[in-house]
Amino acid sequence: MPNYAKDGEVMYHTGLTKEMIKGAKYALVPGDPGRVEGLAKALDPNAAFVASHRDFTTWTAEVNGQPILVMSTGMGGPCVTFAVEELARLGVKTFIRVGTTGSMQEDLNLGDIVINKAAVRMDGASKAYAPIEYPAAADMRVTLALEEAAGTLKIPFKTGISVSTDSFWPGQERYDSYAGYVRRAYQGSLEEYQHLGCTNFEMENATLFTLCDVMGLHAGSVCGVVAKRTDSETVAPHDVYEEAEKRFQKTVKLALKMLTGHFLVRI
């Protein structure tokens, strides 16, 4: 039986109660607390601040008259587990990761968006919930909504499989770290993932998708490309960030309208 929170019960890590989230069933979960306000207001100009505790900054917005939660998770899979566990106890059923990513395919350019249908589980947190053979797969309906939204808005996007790591540097075969060292096991991994058809590196999808599937919840992911690993290890300048952010904001807003309106244009 699900362990739902009692009335007035405060979640230890997020600082939230059922009453504070106003019955929200959908949550957008960016990593960066600084991204929450802009994302919430892009959904709804009347979005309101709720709480900020540890890594978790929370706002509420409305789409189609339904409450939508926007809450940061911090970076990496372990932080995602706190968000999913506690929001699920408060009644949230659908989680959409919204963030930034580094592409690894030539046809994914800076400012494009990536919609991930699955993730390679190079994280550690998801292994506490399911054996490594268990797939990290996004919810089909959420993924279709994100695809349909991006296509309708004529935003350049690609759907694919991300590689979720716990390390931004050696785990993603980056050599621009302090030591400049990548373990032998990870040397050549970027090229291998490219040949396998993976689209991008990021740090949260595998944990989010695995937890949500195991718990009977729904998950999706849309990220803006701010690094093109086929060209460089460096992160793009601020104007690229702004363009990517505008695009994933518009995409997720239209996708939420489709999901909360119980229709998809494609079907």
Q: Is 266 a catalytic residue?
A: no
Angle at 199 between CA 196 and CA 200, to 5 degrees: 120
pLDDT exceeds cutoff 50 at 197 = yes
With CA atoms as reference, report the closest residue to 247 among 114, 83, 89.
Answer: 114
Q: Give the confidence band of 267 by pLDDT, cuts at 50, 70, 90.
A: very low
Q: Is 229 a catalytic residue?
A: yes
Lowest mean pLDDT among 165-169, 219-223, 263-267: 263-267
Average pLDDT, integer, range 10-17: 98
pLDDT exceeds cutoff 70 at 185 = yes
From the list 13, 53, 54, 141, the catalytic residue is 13
pLDDT exceeds cutoff 80 at 266 = no
Per-residue model confidence (pLDDT) at position 198: 98
- Whole-model pTM over 0.95: yes
Element (H, E) at 218: strand 218-228
Q: What whole-number distance in Å separates Cα of residue 136 and Cα of residue 247?
A: 25
pLDDT exceeds cutoff 70 at 262 = no
Q: What is the pLDDT of residues 111-128, one digit of tens each?
A: 999 999 999 999 999 999
pLDDT exceeds cutoff 50 at 96 = yes
pLDDT exceeds cutoff 90 at 160 = yes
Per-residue model confidence (pLDDT) at position 236: 86
Superfamily name and number for 18-260: Nucleoside phosphorylase domain (3.40.50.1580)
pLDDT exceeds cutoff 50 at 60 = yes
Burial of 222 (0-12, 13-18, 19+ CB in 10 A): buried
From the list 86, 173, 202, 204, the catalytic residue is 86
Q: Give the confidence band of 1 by pLDDT, cuts at 50, 70, 90.
A: confident
pLDDT exceeds cutoff 50 at 8 = yes
pLDDT exceeds cutoff 60 at 183 = yes
**Torsion sign across C-alpha atoms 232, 233, 239, 242:** positive
Pairing assessment for the beta strands 56-63 and 66-71 based on DSSP bridges: antiparallel
Q: Is 243 a catalytic residue?
A: no
Q: Is 13 a catalytic residue?
A: yes
Q: Give the confidence band of 264 by pLDDT, cuts at 50, 70, 90.
A: low
Task: Work out the percent of the chain whose per-residue pLDDT is above 90.
Answer: 95
Q: Cβ neighbours of residue 24 under 8 Å, at least 6 residues apart?
A: 60, 66, 67, 68, 69, 91, 92
From the list 97, 121, 218, 229, the catalytic residue is 229
* Average pLDDT along the chain: 96
pLDDT exceeds cutoff 80 at 27 = yes
pLDDT exceeds cutoff 50 at 165 = yes
From the list 89, 121, 174, 218, the catalytic residue is 174
Average pLDDT, integer, range 28-46: 98
With CA atoms as reference, report the closest residue to 219 among 144, 137, 147, 158.
Answer: 137
Confirm if 115 and 146 have CB atoms less than 8 A apart: yes
